[in-house]
Structure 1
Amino acid sequence: MPISIDRFDDEPAEVLNLQEGTQPYQILQFLAEHSDQAFTQTELHEETGIKRGSVGGALSRLEDRGLVRHRGRYWAIAEDERLASYAAQIGASSSSTTDDYYGGE
């Protein structure tokens, strides 16, 4: 969908699209679900299905916004109260979908 030229000119270059389904959103969601671990770009590619060449760019944009951090080859969700809350919410919703709620009588 096209945007107006005014919006194009006025919108900062560092704006990151975190709408559900986007690559940065998928990576952030995955890292939030696994907030106790750090992953390489290759592992993120394998786990999310995002093209290998796109993972690095998405991670860099997420890092610029302070949403992820990395050390060496490994990437993890940033240490931020807002993200800790997000990770807890993601963890709660994913555990509720995997609970054996419907399994036994």
Structure 2
Amino acid sequence: MPIDIERFEEDPVRELRASGQTNAEEILSFLASSPDRAFTPKEIHEATDVARGSVGVVLSRLEDRGLVRHRGEYWAIADVDDIEKTLNAMATARAATDRLGPEDPDEWGPGIETTTEDE
């Protein structure tokens, strides 16, 4: 579904996906729907419409978090219970961001101080 060019131009921070899900959510949801199977990155790309060049990067990040596993060229979902909790948390965070806007300390206004890890 096409979007208005003004939305495209004015909303560079939000990941513009027709479903509203991030690439990680798309891939996790797909793999979780078939916990008894493993897929190649190409198969994941074709099933999810996540850009081919993004699939490998997303899978690596998900593996670093223990959400997916791989052997050779094949990738599968990790512990299904953890995935369900993660997907729910991602959806909640997305809904909060949609409702309240992105977290940007510069937009919090006067009187609210932020610190860095170095302080």
TM over 0.5: yes
Matched residue, 1:32: 32
Matched residue, 1:78: 78
The within-5 A match list for 1:1-105 is 21-79=21-79, 81-83=81-83, 86=84
Q: TM-score, normalised by structure 1?
A: 0.59
| Off by >6 Å, runs of 4+ in structure 1 | none
Structure 1 vs Structure 2: percent identity of aligned residues?
Answer: 57
Deviation at 1:82, TM superposition (A): 2.3
SS in 2 for 1:70: strand
CA RMSD, aligned part only? 2.2
Select the structure of larger CA radius of gyration: 2
Higher relative contact order (CA 8 A, sep 6+): 1
**Unmatched segments (≥5 aa) in structure 2:** 1-10, 14-19, 86-119
* Cα distance in 2 between the residues matched to 1:55 and 1:68: 12
Deviation at 1:80, TM superposition (A): 5.7
Q: How many residues of Structure 1 are paired with residues of Structure 2 in the alignment? A: 69
Deviation track 1:9-55 (CA, whole Å, cap 9, x = no partner) reads xxxxxxxxxxx600011000000011110000000000001111000
SS in 1 for 2:59: helix
